Chain A
Amino acid sequence: MSKLNTYKDGPGEDGHFGLFGGRYVAETLMPLILEVEQAYNDAKDNDAFQTELRGYLKNYVGRPSPLYFAERLSNKLDGAKIYFKREDLNHTGAHKVNNCLGQILLARQMGKNRVIAETGAGMHGVATATVCALFDIPCTIYMGTTDIDRQAPNVSRMEMLGAEIIPVTSGTGTLKDAMNDALRDWVANVETTYYLIGTVAGPHPYPAMVRDFQSVIGEETRAQIMEHEGRLPDSLIACIGGGSNAMGLFYPFLDDEVRIIAVEASGEGIETGKHAASLNAGAPGVLHGNRTFLLQNDDGQIIDAHSVSAGLDYPGIGPEHAWLHDIGRAEYVSITDAEAIAAFQTCTRLEGIIPALESAHAIAHTIKIAGDLPKDHIMILNLSGRGDKDMDSVAAYLEANK
């Protein structure tokens, strides 16, 4: 791997991380994308904005989230010392709210009076509906019909919070299709509407902006591990669909001597074709406003992803991850549905923590490798969300695979 002076200065002014990223959007949206970028650049350096955001993160979300030593899991694996960054304890139950608060403050500053969002597992939809309730802004959430079926509790939560849910039937009715329809809504309502993207994907400035709003995870982790251990960790691990919880944990550590591991969903196995492993089994392409690794056929048509976890069920990946993969700064591995379900059960029984199925992918890989690592190896896993929403999916999976 070629060593750079810093891995933290991307994207360039044109919104690219190396080959990846960019602003591949229709002209109708382009002026607004530039406006969002300007507004975000202003907010980044604005003390009042940052102070207000920090206040909400502390008093509304409950930050900092704890860094918890998973002692029983560590003992069982008999290797690395494993810590969980407890994003599952945030208000709304996942890391998603960190980004939603940042963007809703930006939307308000830009004078937008309507918010739209896409959601897969529903965690981003719930977080968006939550901040929209808090700031009294009408909100429309696009969600694929497949995901509506498998994430019913989150659909009820969003409706209770006052969001309008629009079921998306095109494609396989999952996250990719929800994002297409959200983009179509945005093109049609560009003057009034703010598109609150939930992950580190989409056109520039979204990948950088969402990463920055999620970096609170890694910044807190740095301070907390110094307090616990007096030194930086040896490795970090997180699951990736679009990759926002992973970028949030990784970014503040990119220039340190820390091993970074991201876990994709390989569904029923990469060899079956039913997976969501865009870095391990995809190729560079352009979708949803950015160039990144995509699951696609030889003719450039996007292939539907598959994962038992709705939040990872996306045929692409954030462009900064594509770049980190390309230059070799982070390792990108994959975990199957079966491995994730087993890890979900292990974590629940050993630690009394029910993880989101997404986070269970990171746990599964930890279970695979931790035993071979030395006892003084400190590993931090981003427990990105809680698994209450996944009870039905896990029960159905276990029933079908008895």
Chain B
Amino acid sequence: MSALLSEDVLSHIGKQSEPRREIVTRRDIRKYAIATDNRQAKYLDGDVAPPLFHLHLFWDVVPLSELSPDGVSIDSLLPKFPLEKAMAGGLDITYHKPIKPGDWLTATRTLTNIYEKAGRSGPLIFYEVLMEVRGDDDELVVTEKTTRILR
């Protein structure tokens, strides 16, 4: 029995985002490589995307009016949690195939779990989001599990 998490909050487990389809361009790869201090020619020239480039490709592009006052976009996949201060989160990523300019990729995000634990200074809420990135051939390109902690 959850002390903090209502049935309504927990009912969001399994919720899935609308799939998002984006094209990979050489220019985007180059910008990402430069901004991350990369120094390998294949990435700086945009021939292939460095690992983690899918973050850039699928970060939510929202209108300014939809950002909260601190400049953050509100994740529509998430319910309103009874705790709101975000703590360190973790990522678990599997790279199945390289990403190249011209690739069309589709990302689907699923809220896979919400649970609470007792922390040293009070209760903590954990939630997990699974993002699957696939090519137009439906083959997996990247799988990413994000775990976030709220206190």
Q: Do A and B come from one complex?
A: no
